Copies of this chain bind each other. A is one copy, B any other.
Amino acid sequence: MNWLDLVTAVAIAQYIWFGVLVGQARGRYGVHAPAVTGHETFERYYRVQMNTLELLVPLVPAMYLAARYWSPVWVAAAGAVYVVGRFIYLRAYVADPKTRALGYSLSALPVLGLLVAVVAGVFMAA
C-alpha cells in the first residue's frame, strides 16, 4: 500500500470538502459571490478553507521531498496527523475562532517537522 500517495489524496480531498462547506455556507447565510464577508459563520468556514489552503501548499511538497530522504511510511504518518489536526481545526474554528490553537498546532507541526526533515536529509546526503 502506498500510504504516502493515499494520505496525500485524503489531505487534498479534505481540503476540497472544506471548499464544499464554504459553498454551502454561501447559500445558508446569504453571502453571494464575489463577497467573502457579510456573515460571521460564513467567514469562519471561508477562513478554515483559506487557512487549509495555506497549509496544504507547503504540506504536499514537504511530504514528497521528505520521502526522498526518510521512510515514506513515517512521512505518511505525519500527513495523517495533519489531516486529523485540520478536522479538529474545522470543528473548533466554526464553533469559536478563539479555540483554534490545538487543531492549528496539530496540523502545522507536521509541516514544520517535514521541512526540518528535508533540510536535514539534504545535508546528511551531501
Contacts and interface: CB of A to CB of B under 8 A. Distances in A.
Chain A binding surface SS class: helix
A102 interface: no
A56 B62 CA distance: 13
A46 to B, nearest CB: 7
Q: Which of A9, A36, A93 has the most CB of B within 10 A?
A: A9
What copy number does this chain have within its complex?
Answer: 3
Interface string A1-13: 1100110110011
Interface of A: 1-2, 5-6, 8-9, 12-13, 15-16, 19, 32-36, 40, 43-44, 46-47, 49, 53-54, 56-58, 60-62, 65, 68, 93, 97-98, 100, 111-112, 115, 118-119, 121-123, 125-126
